[in-house]
């Protein structure tokens, strides 16, 4: 596709609001777990839940019928503003949102029954500190091989960082599992999948590239040639093919 075609499509796609990717048209091969389903299995009507890296609150709000009370935190004030806008009046006394970094949780020890973390930085010491004895932490992370054919064209990692940029906040399940065990927690479940994934149209690909963004400095003006290369090389009858790599870890505090 030429520059003008890609510019026109990029200008037509919606701007990401919070961490909501529902407007994308995508497909993937079957996967061994569904994050909300996994989480619901660990929730009780009395559970106190902390969602670290809540974004626009999309996940914790969808899970609200399954727990007692919940707090969503994010280091981004913009994300928390969106989460507050997304909060229905009916849940105002049940779920709250606040700006807070993962490495400095402003909660007393043993405040929560369940700590959630999805595709966001996680400070293990803080997560364990705020868990009550017997509480669980559930984290799902984007794997290092995610969208590898697309990342290779841009020369970045799945988070959008270039090799010479600081990636100290990047979590890997192997590291998280080791640190949880060192903290005395029991890793009760670990999982990984790497499956085929398709963007069903160019607009969905461009929404995703701009929303992540991937790479961090993505603009259609700067990167249209790489986008054209991806469409040409990865286009199939089903869509623009890549892969989805996810890792899951569940740990229980003694």
Q: pLDDT tens digits, residue range 201-233?
A: 999 999 999 999 999 999 999 999 999 999 999
Cα separation of the two ends of the chain: 56
| Distance, CA of 120 to CA of 151 (rounded, Å) | 19
| Distance, CA of 248 to CA of 236 (rounded, Å) | 29
79 sits in which H/E element:
helix 77-86
Above pLDDT 70, what percent of the chain?
A: 97
| Distance, CA of 180 to CA of 136 (rounded, Å) | 11
pLDDT of residue 170: 56
pLDDT of residue 62: 97
For helices 220-234 and 202-211, give the axis angle rounded to 10 degrees.
130
Pick from 247, 92, 87, 98: nearest CA to 174 = 247
What is the domain count for the chain? 1
pLDDT of residue 169: 47
Q: pLDDT tens digits, residue range 158-200?
A: 999 998 765 544 567 888 888 899 989 999 999 999 999 999 9
Which residues constitute the domain of residue 138? Answer: 3-252
pLDDT of residue 179: 87
pLDDT of residue 172: 79
Pick from 21, 89, 90, 81: nearest CA to 56 = 81
Low-confidence ranges of the chain (pLDDT < 50): 168-169
pTM reported for the whole predicted model: 0.94
User: Could you tell me whether strands 95-99 and 69-74 are parallel, antiparallel, or unpaired per DSSP bridges?
Assistant: parallel
- The domain that holds 22 is classified in CATH as 3.40.50.150
């Amino acid at each position: 596709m030429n520059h003008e075609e890609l510019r026109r499509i990029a200008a037509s796609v919606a701007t990401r609001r919070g961490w909501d990717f529902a407007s994308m048209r995508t497909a993937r091969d079957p996967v061994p777990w569904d994050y909300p389903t996994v989480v619901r299995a660990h929730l009780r009507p009395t559970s106190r839940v902390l969602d670290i890296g809540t974004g626009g609150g999309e996940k914790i709000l969808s899970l609200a019928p399954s727990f007692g009370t919940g707090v969503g935190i994010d280091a981004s004030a913009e994300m928390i503003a969106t989460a507050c806008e997304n909060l229905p009046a009916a849940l105002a006394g049940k779920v709250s949102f606040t700006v807070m970094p993962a490495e400095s949780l402003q909660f007393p020890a043993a405040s929560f029954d369940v700590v959630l973390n999805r595709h966001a930085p996680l400070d293990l010491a803080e997560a364990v500190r705020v868990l009550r004895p017997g509480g669980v932490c559930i984290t799902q992370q984007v794997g290092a091989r995610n969208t590898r054919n697309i990342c290779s064209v841009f020369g970045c990692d799945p988070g959008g960082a270039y090799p010479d940029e600081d990636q100290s906040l990047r979590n890997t399940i192997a590291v998280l599992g080791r640190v949880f065990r060192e903290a005395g927690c029991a890793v009760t479940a670990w999982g990984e999948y790497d499956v085929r994934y398709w963007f069903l149209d160019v607009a969905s690909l461009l929404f995703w590239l701009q929303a992540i963004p991937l790479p961090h400095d993505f603009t259609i003006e700067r990167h249209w040639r790489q986008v054209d290369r991806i469409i040409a090389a990865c286009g199939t009858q089903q869509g623009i093919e890549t892969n989805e790599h996810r890792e899951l870890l569940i740990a229980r505090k003694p």
